[in-house]
Amino acid sequence: MRADLHSHTTASDGTFTPRQVVERAKAKGLAALAITDHDTVAGLAEAQAAGAEHGIEIVPGIEISSVYNGHDVHVLGYYMNTVDEDFLVRLEELRDVRHLRNKMMLAKLAELSIHITLDEVAARKKDAAGNVGRPHIAEVLMEKGIVSSMEEAFSRYLGSTGAAYVNPPRITPEEAIDLIHAAGGVAVLAHPGLYKNPELVRTLIAYGLDGIEVYHPDNNTEDEVLYSALADEAGISKTAGSDFHGMRNDIVFHADLGNRSTPLTTVQELRQRAQKYQIAL
């Protein structure tokens, strides 16, 4: 009776449809699954319908993109009112920034004599209405033989230390927390091990963070110990997620569903924490 609280579908940069993700979760023996697409909740309805068919609880989620000192910081949200008009308008604005970032990255690649068009990248989407993100650019880089894997694409070009990395102005992590709370949801910091910044985590806890993704494929053992202790000290939730994005070139990216999981009591805890924000609306 375990839950994976971090997964992506074709509504953003995953390669599995929401239904396929739920079916894979069923095959992996999960009892609950959060769909946390980047800056969109477009995949939730299909996932919830599939969850009802397969007896899997679908936790409504999202992964909000924000920036701190020029670096990506992602904040997971759970149990928001996903039909709130103000919330949906803000998400559309975030997707507009994502589109700008894609254009800027392609311009940087062109400076490196790597020429890729937006149409080529958009063609890698599995869902016509889905977001375009860095994994789609990485797919084109692999297709053209410039890199041999997703990992190489990110390490050489698209990751935070890559030659084509850019980050246009975005909302702050604090604003992401506020956005989630305003929609009646709980805010959890995603994969803190990637940021190498415990002080940022402490700052966000003090601001009102509701949980930390302690268990994630990109968190090492030292990270798990540190962020578990910080969560316990603050009395906030400790979550786990695989960050499943499907498969590219027959390789799972980041990790397979259930690779990191948490007891169902964590799901109940998040739902209860969300109630205080929902009551305040």
Q: By 3-state DSSP, what share of the chain in percent is helix, strand and coil, each rounded to 5? A: 45, 15, 40
- As a residue count, the chain comes to 281
- Sorting pLDDT into bands at 50, 70 and 90, what band is 260? very high
Work out the angle between the directed axes of helices 173-182 and 85-111 (0-180°, nearest 10).
150
Residue 239 pLDDT > 90:
yes
Calpha distance 37→265 (Å, rounded): 23
Residue 254 pLDDT > 80:
yes
Q: What is the pLDDT of residues 195-216, one digit of tens each?
A: 999 999 999 999 999 999 999 9
Average pLDDT on 48-77 reads 96
Average pLDDT on 243-256 reads 90
Residue 127 pLDDT > 80:
no
Q: Are 91 and 37 in contact (CB under 8 A)?
A: no
Residue 281 pLDDT > 80:
no
Calpha distance 100→103 (Å, rounded): 5
What pLDDT score was predicted for residue 126? 78
Average pLDDT on 130-155 reads 91
Residue 255 pLDDT > 90:
yes
What pLDDT score was predicted for residue 191? 98
Q: Kind of pairing, strands 211-215 and 237-240?
A: parallel
Calpha distance 102→9 (Å, rounded): 19
For domain 2-280, give the CATH number. 3.20.20.140
What pLDDT score was predicted for residue 18? 97
Residue 98 pLDDT > 90:
no
Q: What proportion of the chain, given as a percentage, has pLDDT over 70?
A: 100
- Which residues, 6 or more positions from 24, have their beta carbon under 8 angstroms from its beta carbon? 16, 244, 257
What pLDDT score was predicted for residue 249? 80
Cis omega before residue 74 (within 30°)? no
DSSP code at position 253:
S
Residue 128 pLDDT > 80:
no
Calpha distance 189→201 (Å, rounded): 8
Average pLDDT on 91-99 reads 92
Task: Identify the top-confidence range among 99-113, 131-145, 229-243.
Answer: 229-243
- Which residues, 6 or more positions from 266, have their beta carbon under 8 angstroms from its beta carbon? 3, 5, 237, 238, 239, 240
Domain ranges (residues) in the chain: 2-280
Calpha distance 205→236 (Å, rounded): 8
- The SS3 of residue 272 is helix
Strand partners, 3: 32, 262
Model's pTM, two decimal places? 0.90
- Sorting pLDDT into bands at 50, 70 and 90, what band is 116? very high
Q: What is the dihedral sign for C-alpha 256, 259, 260, 263?
A: positive
